[in-house]
Amino acid sequence: MRRAIFPGSFDPLTNGHLDIVTRSLPLFDEIIIAVLNNPDKNPMFSVEERCSMIEEIIPSLGGNGCHIVVDRFSGLTAHFAKERKATAIVRGIRAVSDYEYELRMALMNRKLEPTIETVFLMADEEFSYVSSTLMKQVFELGGRVEGLIPPSVEEQMRNKLATR
């Protein structure tokens, strides 16, 4: 079984994330979307809310014979990947600055768990500037984010802002 994890905070989930998941489907039998619990990042959504939003969207991705699972984790990505018997960690690259950061992470993950490979996928140019942080900032300042995040996620963001 070719199992990969796609780790991230997904706060919020963007269409860039979905693009990476969709393009990785033909490469693996199973992809675990691994939602990082990192309270230091001051998340807009709880881990449970993020997992729920992702689980709601998964059926629209199709799967192409690949099984998609949502899970949560804290701690080291390499250790989580090993616990889940993954053979790869999927990471999206948007720009050269991402590559430099992701290269260091991939090398450290390889040092921690030498049997797990990191697979880099280039972001579609349409999403090369999209990040969760940027989407939150633009949204909170009243900017438009349609086409950059799933409509159901935008609705959850709207509800979250209304309750603040």
Q: What is the mean pLDDT of residues 31-42?
A: 88
Bridge partners, residue 120, by sequence: 91
Asked if residue 12 has a cis previous peptide bond (ω within 30° of 0), the answer is yes
R_g of the chain computed on alpha carbons: 15
Alpha carbon distances (Å) from 120 to 42, 100, 115, 156: 27, 12, 16, 29
Higher pLDDT, 5 or 129: 5
Higher pLDDT, 66 or 35: 35
The residues that are catalytic are 17, 41, 94, 132
- pLDDT tens string 116-134: 999 999 989 999 889 999 9
pLDDT at 62: 73
- pLDDT tens string 66-121: 799 999 999 999 999 999 999 999 999 998 888 999 999 999 999 999 999 999 99
For residue 71, report the phi and psi dihedrals to the nearest 5 degrees: -140, 165
Listed by start position, the domains of the chain span: 3-162
Q: Integer distance in angstroms from the first to the last C-alpha of the chain? A: 45
Helix (H) or strand (E) holding 67: strand 67-73
CATH match of 3-162 with 3.40.50.620: yes
29 near 142, Cβ under 8 Å? no
What tokens were used for 1? Answer: 């079984």
The pTM of the whole model exceeds 0.85: yes
Instruction: Tell the residue number behind the tokens 């086409």, with chain if given.
Output: 147
- pLDDT tens string 125-160: 999 889 999 999 999 999 999 999 999 999 999 999
- Per-residue DSSP letters for 13-63? --HHHHHHHHHHGGG-SEEEEEEE--GGG--SS-HHHHHHHHHHHGGGG--
